[in-house]
Amino acid sequence: MWLRPFTNTHARGRPLPLRDLRLAVGFFAGCLILYVLGGPRVMGGDLPVWQAVLPVLVLCTATAFRSTVPLVAVAVGTLTVSVQMAAGGGLGPLLVYTDLLYAAALYGAPWLCRVLQFGTIAATLAATIALVLLGDRSEGVTTGVLIALVLISPVWTAVLIRNHKERADAERQRAAQIDRLAELDRKTVLQTERTRMARELHDLVANHLSAIAIHSSAVLSLTEAQREKDGTAEEDPVLQALSVIRENSVQGLAEMRRMVVLLRSDRGVADDWDRPQLNALGALVEQARPAADAAALTLHTDLPETFPEVSSVIEVTAYRIVQEALTNVLKHASAGRVRICCEAGGEQLTISVDSPLARPDGRARQRPVEQLMTGAGAGLAGMSERAALVGGSFDAGPDRTAPGRWRVRAVLPLAQNT
C-alpha cells in the first residue's frame, strides 16, 4: 500500500516485468565485460573489484523494477551513481543509470516526468558552471556536454515517446467515441425507419384487413339470422367462401399487428412473438382446402407425424414458403392434384409443393386482386430470399420428370442458429 504513490500510473507502453529482469541481467553482464576488458575508469584511478561490482549490482536490481516503481528505481540509481562518481566513477554504472532516467520519465507519474525534465537541466547547468568556475573552462564545458548526454538526453527522449503515446491514446479514444456515436446514430435512424414502417403497415394494410374482417362478419351474421328465420339448414358455398375470407383476414390482421409490435420494438426479435411452427403446416393446408375445392384442386399432404426440433428461423422460413406456395397454387394452378411434401433427413429439411401448371390462358383466377399487387414474381423472389438467408437452396419451375406439373422445392439446413 505504501508504494502505491510511487508506482507506474502510465497506462500504456508498460513492459512486462520479465522483460525488465532480462534487461537487468543483460546490463550486469555488460558491465562485467567492460570491467574485464578495460577496468572501471572514468574519473581516474582504479577501483577494487567489490567497489566496482557492488554499485552495478544495485543499479541492475533497480532496473528490474524500472517500470513498476520507477520513482524508487531512479532514486536508488541517483544515490548509487552519486556515491560511485565520488569514489572514482565507472562507465558501466553511468550507462545503467541513463536507462533508469529514461524509464522513470516514460513510465513514471506526470509530475515525476516534469521534475526529471527540469531537474536534469538544472543539475547539468549547475555542474557545468561549477566546473568552469573551479577548473579549466574548456574541460568544464566538455564535461558539461557529457553530463548533458547522460542526464538530459534519456529524459527528453522518453518525454518525446511519452507524448507520442499519449497522443496515440487520445486519438484511439476519440476514434472509439466517434464509433460509438456513429453506432448510436445508426440505431436511431434504424429505429426511426422501423417505426415509420410500422405506422405505414398499421395505417394502410391493417386497416384494410380490419374492414374485410368486419364486413365479412357482418354479412355472415345477417345471413345466419336470415337462415334461422327461414328455418333453412343448408349452407351456401358462397357463405363458406366468405367464412374462409373472414378467418384469413382475422389471422392476417393478428400477424400484421404482431409485426407492427416487432417493428416498434428495439429488440432484434420479440421473444413473445407467436411465430409459425412446423406442426402448424397441416392446419395451414386444411385452411386452404375450401378454396382449393372451389378451384377443383385436390390437396394431398405428405407430412411427418412429428417434426424434428429446429431453430425458430427455420420454422418461420419453412412455414412461409409453404404458405406462399399454396397461395400461388390457388391463384394460378389449373384443376388437378396438388401434393405438399415435407421430409426431414440427415441435416436438412426438404419442402416441395407439386401442382398442375397454370391455366391454358395463362391468367390467374383472381385477376382483380392480382392487378392490385405490384411486382410480378415477388412471391418466388421472397421464397428464394428466405431460403438463402438461412443457408438453404430454392428452386421453382416446370417439373422435368412430370410434364404438365409445376414444382416448388426448398432445402433448408436443420442446424441453424437463432
User: Using only C-alpha atoms, what is the Rg of the chain?
Assistant: 43
309-334 pLDDT, tens per residue?
Answer: 887 778 888 888 988 888 888 888 88
CATH architecture of 279-358+378-413: 2-Layer Sandwich (3.30)
**Would you mind telling me the total number of residues written for the chain in this entry?**
418
Residue 405: what are its φ and ψ, rounded to 5°? -120, 155
Mean pLDDT of all residues in 150-179:
90
pLDDT at 205 (0 to 100): 73
Q: Is the pLDDT of residue 187 over 80?
A: yes
Cβ of 147: how many Cβ atoms within 10 Å? 18
For residues 221 and 227, give the distance between their C-alpha atoms in angstroms, rounded to a whole number: 10
| Residue boundaries of the structural domains of the chain | 18-178, 195-266, 279-358+378-413
At residue 30's C-alpha, the angle toward residues 25 and 32, to 5°, is 100
Q: Is the pLDDT of residue 366 over 60?
A: no
Give percent of the chain above pLDDT 70.
78
98-138 pLDDT, tens per residue?
Answer: 888 888 888 888 898 888 888 888 888 888 888 888 877 77
Mean pLDDT of all residues in 236-245:
72
Give the closest residue to 340 by CA, choosing from 330, 359, 326.
Answer: 326
Residue 305: what are its φ and ψ, rounded to 5°? -65, -40
Which residues are paired to 413 by β-bridges? Answer: 348
pLDDT at 198 (0 to 100): 75
